[in-house]
Every structure is written in C-alpha cells, then in structure tokens.
C-alpha cells in the first residue's frame, strides 16, 4: 500500500473493488486511503451490486464517486484592470482539487474572451503561471497572472472564460475532453459549458 501511494503521486492509478469488505468500505476508511492512493478511476467489478448497495447504505456513494479522479473547483476569481482594447487585466484564480486524483499530464490553459456570444480572443497562459499538476488533492492554490487584451477588442461587455483542453492533439479541439471546473455560478448553474469546453468565470 505504501508503494502504491508513492507511485500514485506521479502516474495514473486505477483501482477496483475486488470483494465486498465492509470493514474497509466505510465512508471514513474509503476517504482516508483514497486520498493516499489518488485513484483516477474505480471499477466495482466483480461485485457491482453488492458494493454499490454497501456504499449507499454507508451514505457516501455519490460523494465517493464524485471525488474519484480529478475534481477541480473554482473557489474565487478576482479580475482587475482596464477592460478596454489594448488594456490589461490582472487575474487571481483560487482553485481547489477536491478529488482523490491529480492532473497528471501538462494541460494548456487559455483565457477566452466572448462578446455578443462570439469568441473574440483566446489568450494562452504560460505553464509557469498556471500548472494544474502542482495542485495536490485536497488542497487549494491561487494562480496569478496578467492578460493583455487585443487591440481589436470592441467596446462593450466582455465575458471571460477558461479553456483547459485535452493535451492530446487529436482531442484538443473536442469540448467533451476539456477539463471542467466543478463550480456553480451565482444562479446555481454549472460554469462549465460542455458544448464549448469553456468555464465561464466572469460576465
């Protein structure tokens, strides 16, 4: 178990329930060693019904499944500056990894500007300023960086989103493979749009 915990800090760790064993499948026990082993995926084989029922009886089935893998939550977004053509914004994004897993691969991040429902700019953020691999499970971190606005930006309201695409070239343009931020806006709606891959953080 110590070896698995060490390996899981740097590579993909997949787990499975090999049997029904309630002693180590209580909510508290599962939570403790799942944070130590960082599972990116979990299989219920070969006892899916029994184990699923056990987790439901324990009262943590949904919360456990939701934390398997990487679950990045945007806690706060502070954007300051002059949102005019050629202006500059300062951004401070506080995010938490509420999942058991971690971001294993280098993920590009871009700030997306939207006006009148149309994407007008995608501004890449350097890995030095926002590397999600540094976000360990059950921890929060604030990433701070500057964004130079394009001179061609039109006057008027601007919505701001984050795009975190899959790093594989064959999947980078597929919205379904973009990393979602598991947060809700002030109206209780998800900030992630699965049709675009955008996480709307302002506007």
pLDDT of the residue at 82: 83
Is it the case that residue 47 has pLDDT exceeding 90?
no
Q: Give the mean pLDDT of the chain.
A: 92
Q: How far apart are the C-alpha atoms of 146 and 88, rounded to whole Å?
A: 7
Q: What is the pLDDT of residue 46?
A: 73
- Calculate mean pLDDT across residues 24-35: 90
Is a pLDDT exceeding 70 seen at residue 7?
A: yes
Q: Is 23 helix (H, G, I), strand (E, B) or coil?
A: helix
Q: What average pLDDT does the segment 19-39 reach? A: 90
37 Cα distance to chain centroid? 18
DSSP of 125-146, one letter per residue? EPTTT--GGG--TTEEEEEEEE
In which band, very low, low, confident or very high, does the pLDDT at 159 lie, cut at 50, 70 and 90? very high
pLDDT bracket for residue 1 (50, 70, 90): confident
3-state SS class at 155:
coil
- Are 72 and 101 a contacting pair, CB within 8 Å? no
Q: What is the DSSP letter of 28?
A: H
- What Cα–Cα distance (Å) separates residue 25 from each residue in 9, 41, 145? 23, 16, 42
pLDDT at residue number 45: 74
pLDDT, one tens digit per residue, over 52-93 is: 888 899 999 999 999 999 999 999 999 999 888 899 999 999
pLDDT digits (tens, 9 = 90+) for 170-185: 999 999 999 999 999 9
pLDDT at 203: 60
The answer to whether the beta carbons of residues 182 and 137 sit under 8 Å apart is: no
pLDDT at residue 131, rounded to an integer:
97
- pTM, full prediction: 0.87
**pLDDT surpasses 90 at 22:** no
Percentage of the chain beyond pLDDT 70 is 100
Position 25 scores a pLDDT of 85
CB 86 within 8 A of CB 139: no
pLDDT in tens, 110-145: 999 999 889 999 999 999 999 999 998 889 999 999
Side-chain half-sphere CA neighbours of 11 within 13 A: 7
Secondary structure (DSSP) of 164-194: ---SSTTTTT-GGGSPPP--B-TTS-BSEET
Sign for the pseudo-dihedral over CA of 102, 104, 108, 114: negative
């Amino acid at each position: 178990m110590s070896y698995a915990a060490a390996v899981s800090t740097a590579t993909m760790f997949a787990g499975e329930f090999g049997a029904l064993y309630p002693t180590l499948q209580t909510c508290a026990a599962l939570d403790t060693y799942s944070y130590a082993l960082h599972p990116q995926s979990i299989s219920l084989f070969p006892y899916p019904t029994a184990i699923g029922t056990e987790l439901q009886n324990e009262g943590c089935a949904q919360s456990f499944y939701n934390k398997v893998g990487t679950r990045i939550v945007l806690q706060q977004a502070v954007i300051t500056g002059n949102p005019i053509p050629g202006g500059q914004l300062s951004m401070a994004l506080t995010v938490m990894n509420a999942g058991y897993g971690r971001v294993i691969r280098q993920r590009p991040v871009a700030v997306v500007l939207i006006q009148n429902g149309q994407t007008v700019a995608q501004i890449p953020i350097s890995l030095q300023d926002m590397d999600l691999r540094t976000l360990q499970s059950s921890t929060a971190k604030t990433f701070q960086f500057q964004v130079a606005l394009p001179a061609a930006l039109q006057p008027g309201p601007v919505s701001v989103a984050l795009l975190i695409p899959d790093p594989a070239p064959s999947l980078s343009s597929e919205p379904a493979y973009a990393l979602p931020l598991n947060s809700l806006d002030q109206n209780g709606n998800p900030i992630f749009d699965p049709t675009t891959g955008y996480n709307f953080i302002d506007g």
